[in-house]
Structures are given as structure tokens and as C-alpha cells.
Amino acid sequence: MDRTSMMYKMYDKKGPKVAENFNKRGFEAYYCPTKDEALQKAISLIPEDHVVSWGGSVSINDIGLRPYVLEHRQVIDRDTAKTPEERQKLLRQALLCDTFIMGTNAATEDGQLYNIDGTGNRVAALIFGPKQVLVIVGMNKVEPTLEAAITRARSVASPMNMQRFSKKTPCALTGMCADCLSPDSICNQMVRTRRCAPAGRIKVILVGENLGF
């Protein structure tokens, strides 16, 4: 058995238990072994009449969810904005959509989410506004403790995200978090979601593959 197969086998053993732990905290959680199964589960959770929007996420693209909703649902898409002012207007409108889809920077084995945001629109929607939030979580983002999840978000997810942007921060140059106060920092809002209230509003799909970063 090769290393990848062993990793996926481990995910299949751990994933259902992690989903169970999320459910204990009021989330509506599922484990899907593959990206294709995760996509089908996500589609089943988004009513056809829902208006959908999203936060910046590689994971929702990795399973094909963002392309699907663009074709099959009414969406609020900030990338259609012609001006910065219009973009801000769309970002605010997204906070009142029916279904908001996103990834997460890290999760814990005991069923918590940990996210870091630049402008805060993604974590704002996670906390309050949209009728439901659908979070796609690759098992590569599940850490054994909250402390490990915070370290992952700050030392892995954020520096890797900065490689996508043409901004000047220490981690963009060195690949390592410097706990900076740069004007270009994307580490401005840090949110731990330890429980879902009202119960079931946040739906978590754990995927037995590596997604995002």
C-alpha cells in the first residue's frame, strides 16, 4: 500500500468520528470519502431556490462546488463587480444570502473550526447572517487540538494564501508567520467556532482527501 492510500485509509477511519464530534456541538456534519461524494452531498443540502454566495476558498473549487452553483443556482458573485464600491456592495449583500459556502483554515478532532480573515467578510457570514453556512473541510486540515489548529492556520494556511496575492508581508517573502502588523496582513480577524447555534445552521462536510491549504 502506498503512502497516499495509507493516508486515505486513515482519513476514512478518523473522519466519521470527527463528524460525530461536530454533531455533538450542534453542527450538522457529514463525512464523505471522496470529492465527488462531497459534491453530491453539498448539492443535496442547497435548495434549488436558495441564493448562494461564498468566501475566498480553494476547497469549494477543489470539489467543484463553486462551478456548480454558478451554473445551477442564483448567486451573489463579488467577482462580477466593475468597481471597488460595487464589490463592497456585493460583499455586504452576501451576508444576507440563503446559503454561504466556504472552506476553513483548520478544524479540530473534537469538532471545532478555526479561521483567519483579512477583511472579515467570510467569518462574518460564518457567525451570523446567511440562513445556512456550508463548510467544506479536507481531512488534511483536521488537527488533534485547538492549539495545533491555530498553529496550522497561522503557519500553513495564511503563508500559503499570501503566495496567491501580490502583497508585501513577511510571510509572503519568507513563508513563515512573523505575527506582523503589515498594512497588507490578511491575519486580522481570528475566529474560533466551538459550537453551532442555532443548531444545524452550520453544515460541515469532511472530505477524505486533501483540499485547499
pLDDT digits (tens, 9 = 90+) for 92-117: 999 999 999 999 999 999 999 999 99
Cell of 160: 500559503
Cell of 67: 462551478
Residues of the chain with pLDDT > 70: what percent?
A: 100
Q: What pLDDT sits at residue 129?
A: 96
Q: What pLDDT sits at residue 96?
A: 96
Helices 65-72 and 35-44: crossing angle, nearest 10°? 40
Q: Is the pTM of this model over 0.75?
A: yes
CB 59 within 8 A of CB 136: yes
20 three-state secondary structure? helix
CB 146 within 8 A of CB 112: yes
Label residue 174 exposed, middle or buried (CB < 10 Å: 0-12, 13-18, 19+).
exposed
The residue ranges of the chain whose pLDDT is under 50 are none
In 3D space, the residue among 172, 170, 27 whose CA is nearest the CA of residue 104 turns out to be: 27
